[in-house]
Structure 1
Amino acid sequence: MPFINIKTPEAALTMAQKAEITHRMTDLLVEYFSEAARPHTMVLIEEVKDGGYGRADEVFILPDAYRAKEL
């Protein structure tokens, strides 16, 4: 079973964006593994809470301007 794990900042994506990512990533893997992989492909989008990730001694907080706006 192909498995994709994507980590994003919490509230950075709308449900529609998550659905689109899931669909497009599934299509990508089907290109490599054939259509037979579609029903078995798992896409997991994990949201990481603010302050739960960082780089080079800097803890990241998602600015409000980058937070998803549900329509």
Structure 2
Amino acid sequence: MPFVNIKTPEAALSKAQKQEIVHRMTEMLVEYMSEAARPHTMVLIEEVKDGGYGRADEIFVIPDSYRAKDDA
């Protein structure tokens, strides 16, 4: 079973963007593995709360400009 795990800052992606990511990742894996992989492909998008991760010894908080504008 193909499994993709994407971690992203909370509120960085809209619902529509998440749906597109799931669709495109599934399509990509089907291209590589064949249509038989489609019903078994899992794409997990995990949202990490602000302050829940860091880089270079600095806790990361998502800037407002990175937040999804529309959660349609």
**So what's the TM-score if we normalise by structure 1?**
0.96
Which secondary structure state, in structure 2, belongs to the residue aligned with residue 17 of structure 1?
A: helix
- 2:40 corresponding residue in structure 1: 40
CA deviations on 1:8-54 (whole Å, 9 max, x unpaired) are: 00000000000000000000100111000001100000000000011
| Secondary structure of the corresponding residue to residue 50 of structure 1 | coil
> Identity over aligned residues, as a percent?
80
Give ranges in structure 1 of 5+ residues lacking alignment. none
Aligned residues: 71
Which stretches of structure 1, 4 residues or longer, exceed 2 Å deviation after superposition?
A: none
Separation in 2, partners of 1:44, 1:56:
26
RMSD across aligned positions (CA) = 0.8
